[in-house]
Amino acid sequence: MSASEDTFSTLCQLLEPFNTAKIGLKPETDISADLNIDSVSVMDFVMEVEDHFNIDIPLNVLSETRSIADLVKVVEGRLAKV
Amino acid sequence: MTDLFDKHRTISERHERMLSLGANAVGLTNDRILSPTRAIIEGRETVLAGTNNYMGITFDPDCIAAGQEALDLYGTGTTGSRIANGSYAQHRELELELAQFLNRKHCIMFTTGYQANLGMLAGLAGPKDTIYLDADSHSSIYDGCTLSGAKLVRFRHNDASDLDKRLARSEDEGGRLVVVEGIYSMLGDRAPLADFVEVKKKHGFQLLVDEAHSFGVLGPNGRGLADEVGLEDDVDFVVGTFSKSIGAIGGFGAGNHPQFNMLRYASRPYMFTASPSPATVATSLAAIRKLKAEPQRRNRLRVNSTRLFDGFKSLGLALGCDSVSPIVAVNCPDEVSTIAMWNALLKAGVYVNIALPPGTPGKQCLLRCSVSAAHTFEDIDRIVSLFGEVVAQGHYRKAV
């Protein structure tokens, strides 16, 4: 499994409590629109991601982050800086 | 062609669903306002318990007279911003007196409380800076942060150790501003300011406290949470509003920084909006003088808040927090039961706020009461009694 696949898998696990409709998660899944998650819950989910990876993901980044694949790139970018 | 309103479909559907359940909280109309605590709603005299009219000052004869005199002397409006049209002497007078009240060197008045946060945050922080904001911050704080262009880091609500952790792993190069609130508007809980001050001493940052719901309410001088806990010297900037304890409209930012007044030339929400109207400034100034001269209002508010808090506890209701403040929020099990209770209370003659996710912390469904110094004990007892009746009707089970 590649590093990106690992990150995707971890993000899917962290997303599960927010995925109340139990929709199948794919890299292209839109975190807010497809899972019908409101903006506050998206921020709460990102906090879980931050704590898991011990990184900061500024809120400013989220406006450009729609899909799980987008978030994988953000997480890996932040990890590369650590 | 994409209809620009398509993106709001989810909100529209939700609003329709609420209407179908009989709650039109957003569209509710007060047909007549009788006093700080009474209105005619849907033809019924209703006890108001959701107005944030903490001091019950909106019908104070001195405040009304001051507003009427200002209308006669200065007209209905200023017709422009202070940087374009100049200030009225009253703007300066209010800022000076409020600075004295707050024991701060400088104070700037904004046209609304919302703009006070926009103006202070966007004036203080810029794209090279980082703002650390509490997760449960009011929308005006989120919007002010966004307008600033600063890097935004959200920390867990009232969790100083979480802020500590985020500061420790940051690579910030610019300034750092931490934003908390004196009393949080939904649940009525206070920020643990002493804990945040400890983190400030460890990491070094500038601290802003939004005292919107605590100004006039907390502290021996009514200056807010920092006054209550004796930490005013550790707070760099204070923000507040005139639309709650002051019973008018407008807001302010205050601080001791020698460059504070630079914000008048750097803060777009201050620069590019019409200045507060003469009547608003006059009633606000009269109300500030009342806060100073009549501490009994603050004491009465505390007694009333405790009475409501204890009354709800005796009913076994789950409340938003364990500390007493003028905001007493009842945590309801779900959206449907919250709407049913809100409807039943309104029909029985008491108005409270209904607050539903995503506008609430932790997806809680809340019936939010705000207490006024103008409430009588009979009012408070009636509110408790009506909640008891609604509970007995089976609309409520204790939210866990």
Lowest mean pLDDT among A78-82, B111-115, B202-206, B310-314: A78-82
Cβ burial of B210 (10 Å; 0-12, 13-18, 19+) is buried
Contact B7/A at CB under 8 A: no
According to DSSP, residue B189 is labeled P
According to DSSP, residue B8 is labeled G
Does residue B60 surpass a pLDDT of 80? yes
Q: Mean pLDDT over all residues of chain B?
A: 95
Q: Tell me the pLDDT tens digit for each residue of A33-75.
A: 899 898 899 999 999 999 999 999 999 998 889 999 999 999 9
Kindly report whether the global pTM for this prediction surpasses the value 0.90: yes
Element spanning B283, H or E: helix B278-293
Structure tokens at B340: 């049913």
Of the residues B152, B334, B335, the best mutation for testing chain A's interface (the one with the most A CB atoms within 10 Å of its CB) is B152
Lowest mean pLDDT among B35-49, B133-147, B150-164, B165-179: B165-179
Read off the pLDDT band of B400 (50, 70, 90): very low
Q: Measured over all CA atoms, what is the biggest interatomic distance in chain A, rounded to whole angstroms? A: 35
Domains of chain B: 4-58+295-392 (3.90.1150.10), 78-276 (3.40.640.10)
Chain B nearest C-alpha distance from A38 (Å)? 7
Element spanning A77, H or E: helix A68-81
Residue type, B67: G
Contact A79/B at CB under 8 A: no
Q: What is the pLDDT of residue B271?
A: 97
Q: Do A47 and B357 touch (CB under 8 A)?
A: no
Cβ burial of B116 (10 Å; 0-12, 13-18, 19+) is buried
- Which residue in chain B is spatially nearest to A55 when comparing CA positions? B169
Q: What is the pLDDT of residue B143?
A: 97
Chain B nearest C-alpha distance from A37 (Å)? 10
Q: What is the ipTM of this complex?
A: 0.91
CB atoms closer than 10 angstroms to residue B157: 18
Lowest mean pLDDT among B44-48, B85-89, B331-335: B331-335
Q: Do B151 and A44 touch (CB under 8 A)?
A: no
Average pLDDT rounded to a whole number, residues B345-360 = 93
Q: Do A47 and B170 touch (CB under 8 A)?
A: no
Residue B111: closest CA among B318, B264, B311, B249: B249
Tokens 């639309």 locate to B243
Contact B302/A at CB under 8 A: no
Contact B159/A at CB under 8 A: no
Contact A2/B at CB under 8 A: no
Residues comprising chain B, all counted: 400
Contact A36/B at CB under 8 A: yes
Q: Do B154 and A47 touch (CB under 8 A)?
A: yes
Contact B358/A at CB under 8 A: yes
Residue type, B207: L
Candidate from B135, B169, B358 with C-beta closest to A56: B169
Q: Which residues of B touch A40 (CB under 8 A)?
A: 357-358
Q: What is the pLDDT of residue B172?
A: 76
Instruction: Report how many domains make up chain A.
Output: 1
Strand order in the sheet with B350-351: B32-35, B38-41, B44-48, B350-351
> What domain range is A15 assigned to?
3-81
Contact A58/B at CB under 8 A: yes
- The Cα–Cα gap between B121 and B208 comes to 9
Q: What is the pLDDT of residue B263?
A: 98
Q: Do A59 and B154 touch (CB under 8 A)?
A: yes
Q: Which residues of A touch B145 (CB under 8 A)?
A: 59
Sign of CA dihedral B193, B194, B200, B202: negative
Read off the pLDDT band of B298 (50, 70, 90): very high
Structure tokens at B276: 């507060």
Q: Do B363 and A41 touch (CB under 8 A)?
A: yes
Residue A50: which CATH number?
1.10.1200.10
Element spanning B351, H or E: strand B350-351
- The Cα–Cα gap between B36 and B60 comes to 9
Residue A43 near residue B154, CB atoms below 8 Å: yes
Does residue A5 surpass a pLDDT of 90? no
Residue type, B254: A
Q: Do A44 and B135 touch (CB under 8 A)?
A: yes
Q: Tell me the pLDDT tens digit for each residue of A9-41.
A: 999 999 999 998 899 999 999 999 899 898 899
**Cα-atom radius of gyration of chain A, to the nearest Å?**
12
Q: Do B10 and A36 touch (CB under 8 A)?
A: yes
